Structure 1
């Protein structure tokens, strides 16, 4: 057994009842939910120590860790634009000397020339050292069009809870007497230069059941927060409520967004005096951008429009001027994806709308120009069969900055002008010899006949089955697109590359629950349809076996966060097929998930276990409740963070305890920092990649005994 317990603890586990666990009283390991409880942390420390003692002595561990650190710290990385502010570019730079990052700015002209004249605004590492905190950068909201005042969010240890401080980019200092908020899961946004929208933790009844703000207030500069004016109030059962503002040309549009559930939003337009006007947008539509006086929304259900009906996945435009004037507002269509397409990203520049479309999971960039009725679309000339991501768009002028990459080609940053051809302005260096590998997109047929795409990477020229790592997500409309192998799978750094370099195969599976084919692909795995995503994953694994590309029990299933539900379920359902699972920051106990941290916000995705009808279908696949004793269970590696304030660490802890009670081999590593992202810096990310590689080699590698 990997995690060796002291004899007394082992006996206590073995003696614990293993009931069906339909109620909290049936759960013998609920004490592990005490995040910083002394007993719980002692157990975590033992599991961590046992896992490290076993894996770090493997000869490949120090090599993999050093290589991962070298890749992650490579100062030849692209200085990605995190914002375009007028004629300046903003970037957060992390390398070996600056693991927490330098928040810095350069002129757009120098950035475009390839020789940016960077000026550091905040040295996050130095700030943490000076203040005795483990600060992790969480972003900044700078007030357009001057961009001289910014609401900076930083987190102690990487949790979702932030400290907010006002920063002056001219002086390069935090503003004395400026807007500041203590640590909380706050929502903040500019209303004007002397007023901000604030939703924060003000004590009892000011947070929703999901732990997010329930109130939105307007806070005037120089006044005490206690005097802030209430603008909007949500319900206790809501997910959250927040304010936001968008500068559209010379007009600042302000909004309140109340989210009754994860997939529904009620938007209101906020006037200068703080009063509100409801927007006629369907609750299940997605607010994507504002351009030329129109709110652009993506539809998740059909909607009556001028001249007919707009279908699911379409982009439509609502006139905000008509809303202000009190007119009846009928939207019109601006873009309709084909049956093989899905709109994934939307961003506005000064006069154009830029959309990233997936077409059978390959990226395309389309420029939309306002016209009435309908808008004119033009596909931009970028490399085909690639993953495309919109990094930023310019507020002045019409230019999009996009990255283009695939599994074997490192990212290249393109400046894409509205007129003229895209220009490559930066590229990351190759980190491996791509000629050694082949990539192909394949399709498996799921249990209900659905065609499920997946990407397969193998060493070139190798015949027959190989040990195979399959990574997937399958939820929350989150599409999984093929990225350069040094970044796959998600949050595991270059693990995918290391696994391939060891002579094995790697698969990225585009199962239902994600957004690869638009809303329908997601809806087919919602709530009582969740089994479809698991069946899709099984179909991919079975397809590999049927085509003699993989062997049962030499397949590892990898997933993170929502992917923890996925890999836990497939491991329980098909122990004959999978030999190992990698479960990162995982959801596992679906009987109690809605009572743990932000879990209540996801009930629209999974169901409410406190409702008998919902628990009836959830119980069939909830990983924790379906774990069984037996030597054939896939070997699990759980990695997570103590400070994860989104997905509770108790999920993984309790699963590990069950494995212990069942006498099953498992591995466990809980970092003390990093929040939901786990690694707070590259050192931790590199260590995790090396541990996971060593784990895979031990449990499903070609050298493992049957």
Structure 2
């Protein structure tokens, strides 16, 4: 951001030393301690009045955009692509078989199925359907949404299914038999809650759930984790560990190394702070001697992998270390045996990876784009890394590995290249890949290209961004442009195939911009930490700087520029558009945080105070009031006609944020559209039909405002 218009609060603070009038003091007090919120009733998620508000706004929004001549064609394009017969089923590997969850016209809720590697490579794989979620939902009169399955090892014949009502984070956990393809009679069953559950062995689970009054944290997650034996009631489970009420959560889990189970439990003190215990052979819980902000990864060849999030003992934040399990009981002295597996640079950071039996495959971000590296460990302390070539200047990634063999799955994609799915063996010295599937092209990319630029934020930091545009674009500022961003929680925004959006936007001349704002993980932990808490405003300065740079380069102008984002990205858009409404013609605010004075009191909000700060602290409150969109709305400002979207079933980011923001905009006579899906959870949508409507409304809005 090249300029930061002072809010009334900031201006008041600057003038306070020279102005002591009682009226001024009252104005300052009223700004720092806002009057009772008149729209608290919109925080009643299922309240009749609140639902009527959403229903009424939905009717206006849907009627308006469906009457737009563009809607029919946009909706048809989305429908054709979302239900295309040649869609590639994304798969994961378990015990040598490939699993997929699939939705289509006949299976709106979806089917869970599997196939062999050989069959998957054919034009028409033979799928073995394990669970038909539509059929189960109909039989049980429930709207189940798939939330995943966890396998029991070593037999792989049982799973814990996680099913959500309407897409909420809260799930029901049920034991399922893969041989009989049925739920286990009198098997493990955990009622709806924000549960964490995992197998210890075939007759024992680690469970964190709602055990009753006082058993959940202020963040809404389990405070107590227990071990639960088969054949006993859930109420008889024995306590393993307890967190404090103000901690984020407690959970326990099993990691495997060379097919052997190892047990851990963890107390997450905050979003970026954890205490970790390893259970040795005697069952004793040994505290892992790591910095609280360091994150544990996986086990490999007798070592626990730890990533540093801050500089420690001469090592940089972003370093990946291996600490022998058998040294943990030494406490702090265990660090004398720690070995560096990956050392970051200013542009290279580890993004993730997967294990195979003999190797680790690391995914390394190099100036935002990703490459793979194969790691070989030679005891006792030699770690060798070699690059693995896949694709060309895009996103190559290992996303699943078989730790009982050396097989792993990888993908390659970029903005204009459909995703390719590969299989490889880490034991192959030539690192060759077998192409499993190549996704179909969904738009004509022959006239398109991708460019990269840097904008200069207000404090001088260079902020990179990608632009997808026509090759022959005239830099006259006339082009409809969508700028997308997130800027938080160390989540990297990286190129991926534009797919259906490429068809309805880029192919038709729209410019697409992907931003790499501070707060993300594109350049490691410090890139994220630069905008935490009192420095949060800087990410909005970054966003504005990119908008101004796009305008200065001639890509677009304020009459043709829109910004978009979801969740924390919804906060990004809300803060940016209330800060600099003059820069934008449109803004899509998805499943957002917007009332930053109350976010910590709503659903999982308390868990994010490490990111945004505590609004109850007077100094943090002042910092938050610099940007909190709900509080910054002004009846005298001229805002673009924004489009706010959320879900009633979002039990992570409260729908009250979106509802109240819209209500206040309408009170102040600002133009606004609102759509609230009654299902979908934080993802916004629970099935493909809902996704088609959501995307069609959003895209119609963008073309309507930016042409």
Q: TM-score, normalised by structure 2?
A: 0.92
2:505 maps to which of 484, 499, 503: 499
Q: Tell me the CA shift for residue 61 of structure 1.
A: 0.8
Displacement of 1:374 in angstroms is 4.2
Residue matched to 1:449 = 460
**Distance in 1 (alpha carbons) for counterparts of 2:283 and 2:693:** 50
Match of 1:458 among 469, 487, 501: 469
CA contact (8 A) 1:387 1:483 kept: yes
Partner of 1:138, secondary structure, is strand
Residue in structure 2 matched with residue 468 of structure 1 by the alignment: 481
Deviation of 1:239 after TM superposition, in Å, equals: 0.7
- Give the RMSD, CA atoms, in angstroms: 1.8
- 3-state SS of the aligned residue for 1:525? coil
Q: CA deviation at 1:631?
A: 5.9
Task: Give the corresponding residue for 1:7.
Answer: none
Give the Å deviation of 1:397. Answer: 1.6
Q: 2:498 aligns with which of 479, 482, 485?
A: 485
Question: Is the Cα contact below 8 Å between 2:121 and 2:437 reproduced in 1?
Answer: no
1:150 aligns to what?
Answer: 159
1:63-82 matched pairs, under 5 angstroms: 63-82=73-92
After TM superposition, list the pairs within 5 Å mapping 1:364-403 onto structure 2.
Answer: 364-371=371-378, 372-403=380-411
Task: Give me the whole-angstrom Cα distance separating, in 2, the residues matched to 1:63 and 1:211.
Answer: 43
CA distance in 1, matches of 2:173, 2:311: 40
**What is the CA-CA distance between 1:107 and the residue it aligns to?**
2.6
Paired residue for 2:101?
Answer: 92
Cα contact 2:444–2:507 (8 A) shared by 1: no
Q: Distance in 2 between matches of 1:563 and 1:327?
A: 39
Residue equivalent to 1:491: none
Alignment of 1:407 with 2:407, yes or no, is no
Q: Is the 8 A contact 1:580 1:635 kept in 2?
A: yes
Native 8 Å contact 2:483 2:512 kept in 1: yes
How far residue 116 of structure 1 moved from its aligned partner, in angstroms, is 4.0
| Separation (CA, whole Å) in 2 of partners of 1:446 and 1:92 | 42
Consecutive unaligned residues of structure 1, counting only runs of 5 or more, are 1-18, 487-493, 702-706
Deviations 1:605-624 (A, max 9, x none): 00000111211111111111
- Worse-matched range after superposition: 456-465 or 186-195: 456-465
Q: After TM superposition, which residue ranges in structure 1, 4 or more long, deviate above 3 angstroms?
A: 19-25, 108-117, 271-275, 324-328, 494-497
Matched, 1:339 2:346: yes
Instruction: From the superposition, tell whether residues 20 and 590 of structure 1 become closer, same or farther in structure 2 (CA, over 3 Å).
Output: farther
Give the match's secondary structure for 2:64.
helix
Whole-angstrom CA distance in 2 between matches of 1:336 and 1:227:
46
Aligned to 1:525: 531
| Per-residue deviation, 1:98 | 1.7
> CA 1:481 to 1:538, structure 2 compared with 1: closer, same or farther past 3 Å?
same
Instruction: Sort the Cα spacing of 1:117 and 1:274 in 2 relative to 1 into closer, same or farther, 3 A.
Output: farther
Q: CA deviation at 1:369?
A: 1.1
State the shift of 1:86 in Å: 1.8
Kept in 1: contact 2:271–2:610 (CA 8 A): yes
Report the counterpart of residue 333 of structure 2 in structure 1. 328
Task: Report the counterpart of residue 593 of structure 2 in structure 1.
Answer: 587
Contact in 2 for aligned 1:289/1:346 (Cα 8 Å): no
The match for 2:52 is 42
Asked whether the equivalents of residues 85 and 145 of structure 1 are also in contact (C-alpha less than 8 Å), the reply is no
8 Å Cα contact 2:358-2:376 kept in structure 1: yes
Q: Is 2:148 aligned against 1:139?
A: yes
Within 5 A, what are the aligned runs for 1:660-671? 660-671=666-677
Q: Structure 1 residue 553: deviation in Å? A: 3.5
Deviation at 1:26, TM superposition (A): 2.6
Q: Quick check: 1:601 aligned with 2:607?
A: yes
Map residues 92-241 of structure 1 onto 2, 5 A cutoff: 92-111=101-120, 116-241=125-250
Matched, 1:675 2:684: no
5+ long unaligned stretches in structure 2: 1-28
| Distance of 1:133 and 1:236 partners within structure 2 | 32
Instruction: Answer yes or no: is the 8 Å Cα contact 1:495–1:690 preserved in 2.
Output: no
Secondary structure in 2 matching 1:35 = coil
Assess if the C-alpha contact under 8 Å between 1:286 and 1:297 holds in 2: yes
**1:13 alignment partner in structure 2:** none
Q: Distance in 1 between matches of 2:410 and 2:282?
A: 38
Aligned to 1:363: 370
Distance 1:496 1:634, change over 3 A: farther
The alpha-carbon deviation at position 652 of structure 1 amounts to 0.5
> What secondary structure does 1:237 align onto?
coil
Structure 2: distance between partners of 1:114 and 1:497: 25
Q: What is the alpha-carbon distance in structure 2 between the residues aligned to residue 541 and residue 552 of structure 1?
A: 9
1:315 aligns with 320
Determine if the alignment matches structure 1 residue 276 to structure 2 residue 281. no
1:480-528 Cα shifts (integer Å, max 9, x gaps):
1111112xxxxxxx34542223322110111110000110110111111
| Closer, same or farther: CA 140–23 of 1 in aligned 2, 3 Å | farther
Q: Distance in 1 between matches of 2:382 and 2:548?
A: 45
**Deviation at residue 428 of structure 1 after TM alignment:** 0.7
Asked whether 1:266 is paired with 2:266, we answer no
**In structure 1, how many angstroms separate the alpha carbons of the residues matched to 2:694 and 2:111?**
24
CA apart distance, 1:23: 4.9
Paired with 1:506 and 1:337, the residues of 2 have a C-alpha distance of 30
Per-residue CA shift, 1:413-459, capped at 9, x if unaligned? 01132113122110110011110212111111111221111111112
